[in-house]
Amino acid sequence: MADETKAPVAENTASETPAASAPSSSGSSSGPSSSGGSSSGGSHAPHRSGPRDSRDSRGPRPGGPGGGREGGRKFFRRKKVCKFCVEKIESINYKDVRLLAGFVAESGKIVPRRLTGVCTPHQRRLSSAIKQARNIALLPFAGRSN
Amino acid sequence: MINRTYELMFIVRPDMVDEELDKLISTLETAVTSTGGTVKSVEKMGKRRLAYTVRRFNDGMYILLTVEGSGGLIHELERRLRVTEPVIKFITVRIDEEQKRLDKIKKLRDARKKAAPAPAAAATPAAPVAEAGEATPVAQ
């Protein structure tokens, strides 16, 4: 993986044309190494968004089943429903730690909504409730430092 | 315009005596009433383990204070809490907008429930009741 990231970086520095080479080089490489490609594109000053745009247009986030385009995303994407909408939970309070802890990873990070299936307005309220709970030491900021 | 409802949760160090805690709470209550607010409720949530170390403490006594008043009142309360030595953490949340939203949802739900099971007969007594319920918050 690390070797693959080094190869496009070498190509970019050798060719010295920022815009033209950057999209093509990152287009050939797969998902994780394209992030390496975009960082090298950023070092060539004017076109920072070049490789990023091509990456977005090439591989849009798969909403339904049929992921795996970005390589390495092995999560099973079935139709997930928002827990709050189904159970009609209206108030997401920072005080109910048990409810919030279900949406926090072991490391203490807030789980993204594409994994939990929560709808956007509820995810926003959930996220602010988790941040409030973190401030009052009901939830940790960082669980286990690896 | 003193109809803002706030929830003030603070943590007191675990080795505090109950009487001192009550003294602290009564001091805060007098501060609230002197500025023209009302204390809605005081809840001692008991000793809990903190999620991370705060001022070298691993547990603390949680107290929840629901207050109705203006913003200046909260400014004063927070100033006092900052100065008080046993208080190690506090957070203030404004809850009147949230309360309004929840009441609205509840009202819609009740209206729907009344409308669904008894459409014709019970709807007419239910409708004026619902209207009266809607009128009173509007008047406030």
Q: Is B40 helix (H, G, I), strand (E, B) or coil?
A: strand
Claim to verify: residue B90 and residue B114 sit in the same structural domain:
no
Examine the fold and report which residue of B58, B77, B94 is the final residue of a domain before the chain moves on.
B94
Residues B76 and B11 in one domain: yes
> What residue ranges define each of the domains in chain A, with the CATH number in brackets?
2-58 (no CATH), 83-135 (4.10.640.10)
Give B-chain residues touching A140 at CB under 8 angstroms: 51-52
Q: Going along B55-134, which residue ranges are E strands? A: 57-69, 87-94
CB contact under 8 A, B11 and A140: no
Specify the 3-state DSSP secondary structure of A21. helix
B52 touches chain A (CB under 8 A): yes
Q: Average pLDDT, stretch B5-21? A: 91
- The answer to whether B105 contacts A94, with C-beta atoms less than 8 Å apart, is no
- To the question of pTM greater than 0.80 for the whole model, the response is no
Q: Which residues of B touch A90 (CB under 8 A)?
A: 101-102, 105
Which of residues 68 through 107 in chain B touch A, CB cutoff 8 A? 89-91, 93, 98, 101-102, 105
- Residues on A contacting B at a C-beta cutoff of 8 Å: 90-91, 94-95, 132, 134-141
Quick one: B54 and B84 in the same domain? yes
User: Are both B71 and B109 inside the same structural domain?
Assistant: no
Q: How many residues does chain B have?
A: 140
- Most confidently predicted of A33-37, A79-83, B57-61: B57-61
Taking residues B50-70, what's their average pLDDT? Answer: 92
Higher pLDDT, B111 or A76: B111
Task: Check which CATH number belongs to the domain holding B80 and give it.
Answer: 3.30.70.60
What number is the average pLDDT over the span A67-87? 66
Which single residue is written with the structure tokens 């404004």? B94
Instruction: Judge: A141–B52 Cβ closer than 8 Å, yes or no.
Output: yes
As given in the structure block, the two tokens for residue B8 are: 């003030």
Tell me the CA end-to-end span of chain B in Å, nearest whole number: 12
Quote ipTM for the complex. 0.76
pLDDT recorded at residue B125: 52
* Least CB–CB distance from A137: residue in B64, B89, B93: B89
How many domains does chain B divide into?
A: 2
Q: Is B41 helix (H, G, I), strand (E, B) or coil?
A: strand
pLDDT in tens, B107-129: 988 888 888 776 655 545 544 55
B108 lies within 8 A of chain A by CB: no
Q: Which residue of A has its CA nearest to B48?
A: A138
Predicted local distance difference test score (pLDDT) of residue A10: 42
Task: Tell if the CB–CB gap between A138 and B51 is shorter than 8 Å.
Answer: yes
Q: Supply the range of the domain harboring residue B108.
A: 98-139
B56 and B80, same domain (yes or no): yes
Q: Residues B19, B65: one domain?
A: yes
